[in-house]
């Protein structure tokens, strides 16, 4: 890769943000191509077999009842229109009574969008545009706030486990007096929970929720357990194909209890998977930073040129210390504090990674650190960047960008 700043050899500046964006774009395209090849190899033969089987059935049916093929095709098109309106051969629950409409708006604001129910009137389609705009935004905000609270709980749990582990090793005193408590706080001042521990806990939670929900669906809906797991992932990840949808029969045994449990599992599953996706995206960004470091090639025409690192540059702690002290989000990070500390087992040291990722990871890790050490951020802090700072995931990116823009004015 070229130099990151202006270069005497005339090479265009390529900063880490753009390089990371381009690399991620290329990897996503490669990922899509590989996925398309795999699914085409798995599903295309089944599709051809289904087409041949349908052609044979259509031919036999038209000959058996002496029907005109064009008239039969017109009738089937009419049934497809009725099917889109919610009419099925089997007796199903009403689509647009209050409970059916409530189920529909739930799939809209959660962005699941199964597709088995869609508005057919012009007024319904127009109302959906404005309703979904506000509802989806509010639900995404709810998911981000849910993630922050999950991080808070995990921070307390991980900090407690870390304290117990250090006491067993004799690093922390067992005395509960105030001086001992202050000493423990000082000794744990630089500790931060590992991103990988958070990812593992969220993954286990998602597996437990999906397994319990799949057991319920397989027994009540009559699906296979593997099909139920497939439905759980499609629903919880808000992909929502609509080929399998729960709670669609006209009646169930213990119907009220089942629908409440169905709502609870979908809500918890979506929140958990959304949180897991955010943490996985942080790990992916960490891998991209590591790849950029490995692929970085210094300019041969200006080897002695001292380049000023970008704010998102990934640099070792000892190099970063020579350049300047860098602050993360709203709280400064002093490089004089135990450089190279890796008490959480990260692939890249948490200090390097925090400084490298000011936008997304810094918010999550700062939340973890503050909560774990028992020092939450004051509500009236002056380092709020004009009220824009805060949030996780996409919300955090927007807030930090707004904060930077507001601070520059």
Tell me the average pLDDT across 304-308: 43
Structural domain includes residue 59: yes
* Residue indicated by tokens 């809209």: 108
Residue 302 lies in a domain: no
For residue 328, report the phi and psi dihedrals to the nearest 5 degrees: -110, 125
How many whole angstroms separate alpha carbon 339 and alpha carbon 322?
12
Q: Is residue 196 part of a domain?
A: no
Does 96 have pLDDT greater than 60?
A: yes
pLDDT score of 311:
46
| Lowest mean pLDDT across 47-51, 172-176, 188-192, 252-256 | 172-176
Query: If you average pLDDT over every residue of the chain, what do you get?
Result: 75
pLDDT value of position 231: 96
Question: Facing residues of 327 across strands?
Answer: 332
The reported pLDDT for the residue numbered 12 is 52
| Within-domain flag for 282 | no
Q: What is the pLDDT of residue 157?
A: 85
More confident of the two residues 261 and 80: 261
Window from 37-51, 265-279, 337-351 with minimum mean pLDDT: 337-351
**Reported confidence tier of residue 296, pLDDT bands at 50, 70, 90:** confident
pLDDT tens per residue across span 152-176:
888 888 888 878 887 887 765 555 5
**The residue to which tokens 């759980």 are assigned:** 232
Give pLDDT, residue 382: 44
Q: What are the pLDDT digits (tens) for 270-290?
A: 999 999 999 999 999 999 999
pLDDT at 151: 85
On whether the CB atoms of residues 406 and 386 are closer than 8 A, the answer is yes
| DSSP line for 107-119 | HHHTT---SSS--
pLDDT, tens digit, 9 for 90 and up, residues 132-149: 999 999 999 999 999 888
The verdict on residue 31 lying in a domain is yes
69-83, 274-288, 362-376, 383-397: lowest mean pLDDT where? 383-397
Helix or strand run (H / E) with residue 328: strand 327-328
Nearest to 244 by CA among 227, 259, 258, 264: 227
- Rg over CA atoms, the chain: 28
- Domain assignment present for 42: yes
Structural domains counted in the chain: 1
* Residue 370 vs residue 147, higher pLDDT: 147
Mean of pLDDT values over 49-53: 94
38 within domain boundaries: yes
The whole-number pLDDT of residue 35 equals 95
Residue 55 in domain:
yes
Q: Which pTM does this prediction carry? A: 0.69
Domain that holds residue 65: 21-89
Q: How far apart are CA 317 and CA 285, in angstroms?
A: 19
Closest CA relative to residue 277, chosen from 369, 393, 192: 393
């Amino acid at each position: 890769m070229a130099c990151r700043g202006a270069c005497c050899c005339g090479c265009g500046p390529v900063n880490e943000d753009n390089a990371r964006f381009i690399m991620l774009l290329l990897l996503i395209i490669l990922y899509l191509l590989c996925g398309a090849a795999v699914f085409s190899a798995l599903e295309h033969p089944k599709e051809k077999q289904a087409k041949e089987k349908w052609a044979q059935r259509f031919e036999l049916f038209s000959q058996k009842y002496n029907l005109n093929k064009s008239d039969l095709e017109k009738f089937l098109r009419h049934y497809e229109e009725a099917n889109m309106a919610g009419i099925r051969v089997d007796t199903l629950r009403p689509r647009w009574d209050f409970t059916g409409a409530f189920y529909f708006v739930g799939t809209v604001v959660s962005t699941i969008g199964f597709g088995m129910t869609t508005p057919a009137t012009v007024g319904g389609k127009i109302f959906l545009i404005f309703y979904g705009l506000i509802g989806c935004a509010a639900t995404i905000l709810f998911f981000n706030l849910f993630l922050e609270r999950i991080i808070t709980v995990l921070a307390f749990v991980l900090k407690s486990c870390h304290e117990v582990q250090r006491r067993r090793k004799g690093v922390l005193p067992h005395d509960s007096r105030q001086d001992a408590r202050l000493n423990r706080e000082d000794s744990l001042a630089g500790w931060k929970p590992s991103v990988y521990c958070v990812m593992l806990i969220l993954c286990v939670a998602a597996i437990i929720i999906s397994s319990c929900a799949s057991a319920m669906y397989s027994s009540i809906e009559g699906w296979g357990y593997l099909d139920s797991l497939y439905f759980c992932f499609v629903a919880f990840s808000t992909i929502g194909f609509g080929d399998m949808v729960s709670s669609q029969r006209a009646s169930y045994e213990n119907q009220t209890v089942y629908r409440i449990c169905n709502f609870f599992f979908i809500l918890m599953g979506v929140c958990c998977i959304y949180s897991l996706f955010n943490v996985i995206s942080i790990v992916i960004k960490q891998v991209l930073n590591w790849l950029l470091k490995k692929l970085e090639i210094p300019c041969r025409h200006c080897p002695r040129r001292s380049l000023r690192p970008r704010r998102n540059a990934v640099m070792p702690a000892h190099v970063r210390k020579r350049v300047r002290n860098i602050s993360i989000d709203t709280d400064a990070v002093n490089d004089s504090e135990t450089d190279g500390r890796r008490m959480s087992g990260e692939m890249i040291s948490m200090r390097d990674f925090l400084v490298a990722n000011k936008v997304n990871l810094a918010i999550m890790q700062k939340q973890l650190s503050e909560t774990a050490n028992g020092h939450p951020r004051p509500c009236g802090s002056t380092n709020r960047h004009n009220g824009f700072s805060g949030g996780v995931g996409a919300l955090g990116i927007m807030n930090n960008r707004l904060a930077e823009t507001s601070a520059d004015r």
